[in-house]
Amino acid sequence: MKNKVFLAVTMLTAMLFTACEGLDLNKTEHYDAEGMYVGITAFSDNVSYSYPYYSGEVKGKYRYTILDAFTTEGHIDYINGLQMGDATVLYYAVDENLSYLQKCKFPNNLSSVNIVTFTDGLNQGSRALDKQNGNHDYASSDESYVAEIHRKIETEKVQGLPVNAYAIGIRGKDVAGDAAAVFKDNLLKLSSSDANAIEVSNMDEVSVKFKEIAASLYKTSESTTLTIIIPMPSDNEKERFTFDDVTDATASQCYLEGVYVNGAMTNITYVGCSSTSGARVVEKAAGGVKIQFTFENFADESGQAISTQHMQQWHMSPGQSTWTRNSEFRPEESTKTIEERKTAVVMLILDCSSSLGDDFAKVKEAANDFIRTLSGGVADIPGTDPGTNPGTETTYYIKHPWGGGSDWSWRPMTKENDYYICKGIWGGNDACVNTKPTDDGATWFGMGYIIGAYDMTIGDKVEFAYLPSISYLCVYPAYGDTADVY
């Protein structure tokens, strides 16, 4: 099993490295794939950058990478290998990242651009490094240098979006007297708002703030698509779908409602929820007499995902005035809630100056938690979910349109070493994994997040492999005896 996964990782790494050769990062850098782009800059007396995918010589200083199972571990390996240095080129590190962002072209669905800076002290050495590299003429003093950085944060945009900048600071031992005011001013100047300038008193608080910021960035970079599958209604029949636990449709505070007319749900209204699909959604065939309606960016009024656990269908025929509940509607069989990541950019800028002393290990731990939270993988590690007893072996299930039809059924996975395996017929679509055979709380994997998906053809006998520790899902041809393939 491990050999198969290693082969998949090796092939993917080789392809990505080949694609990266010859990059001229002085020109516009194009990023085509959609997802969470993450980079890490570490600074002390110089700057370094995380390259989780690449080995050997990489041309250019900068590179963002899509955050997935491989790059998550690559970034963590980079963080764990960081060493302290004897200066704090704080301004230089932030300024270089802002300049690089201006050279990048991201996918059109870019939703946010973010820089998160951590420091424990004052700027030291940035002007010298800037002069050495002949970069800018505005760095004649520390005051002019940080003022120009603040101007960039406030005014410059990336693909029409503002830069959302955070600065987290903990005073080092050398920050005292007048230096304390400079330290506070640095946090303000390196942030896009006063609320994003965060001074903390200990490393535990740093860890908490890192997690809070990462969690907020993760939420703003995901969207939910709701697909409802029902038998075809009669023309001009009203349909209401409630999401709160009610016994009367008129008592619902969270529902969507429309009228079925000539192959579409029309005059759709949203109460306690919203969707960018608007007031008219055209049906799609779902097999047999069933049709499906898809609602993009479906969320509650605060933008959060809505559970379908208590979802019910109600209908009202023309000429009637009361709602009738469809007792045969089963949300686990009739709906699909797919969470997809929008494109976002996050650069983590870490102070590695020697003034951190023994706290440097805690900085690494906080940075690792930041990356894991962004990847969304922390809750998938057995024992970390509040509902899971540490040390208890977890059972996993996988859902997929087996064979390319409408059979989106849940199937159990078999544990093999650290992986969970399921054989089946490739259906050419998404999959999701859960600790129970229901959609509630499931982790959905779009085609782009299933390693090996685009090498498969509908009808192929395949094996899925899921590694819960890093929320990794891959698919590959079934080897050996295939008689037990469903």
pLDDT tens for residues 351-397? 999 989 999 999 999 999 999 888 874 333 333 333 333 334 578 99
Distance CA 309, CA 19 (A): 44
Q: Which residue has the higher pLDDT, 405 or 155?
A: 155
- Summarised one tens digit per residue, pLDDT across range 338-355 is 766 678 899 999 999 998
Position 441 in a domain: yes
| pLDDT in the model for residue 103 | 86
Same domain, 369 and 239: no
Single-letter residue type at 406: S
Give pairs for 53-58: CB < 8 Å, separation 24+: 53/13, 53/16, 53/17, 53/20, 54/16, 54/17, 54/20, 55/13, 55/17, 56/17, 58/20
Q: Please say whether the beta carbons of 298 and 225 come within 8 A.
A: yes
- Are 74 and 180 contained in the same domain? yes
Give the per-residue pLDDT at 51.
67
Tally the domains of the chain. 3
| Domain with 298 in it | 223-337
- Clarify whether residues 100 and 40 are in a common domain: yes
pLDDT at 114: 94
Is 295 in the same domain as 432? no
Higher-confidence residue of 263 and 175: namely 263
Q: Do 49 and 39 touch, CB atoms closer than 8 A? A: yes
Any domain includes 119: yes
User: Are 405 and 371 within one domain?
Assistant: no
Q: Which residues of 150-166 are buried (b: 16+ CB within 10 A; e: fewer)?
A: bebbeeeebeeeebbbb
pLDDT (0 to 100) of residue 275: 92
pTM, full prediction: 0.58
Copy the structure tokens of residue 74: 């690559």
Mean pLDDT, all residues of the chain: 82
- Whether 107 and 33 have beta carbons less than 8 Å apart is answered as yes
319: left (phi over 0), alpha (psi -120 to 50) or beta: left
Distance CA(258)–CA(238), nearest Å, equals 6
Is 386 a member of any domain?
A: no
Statement to judge: residues 105 and 211 lie in one domain: yes
Task: Calculate the CA 176 to chain-centre distance.
Answer: 39
Q: For the residues 211-240, what does the mean pLDDT come to?
A: 87
Same domain as 44, residue 119: yes
Residues near 207 by Cβ (< 8 Å), separated by ≥ 6? Answer: 362, 365, 366, 369
CATH of the domain at 403: 2.60.40
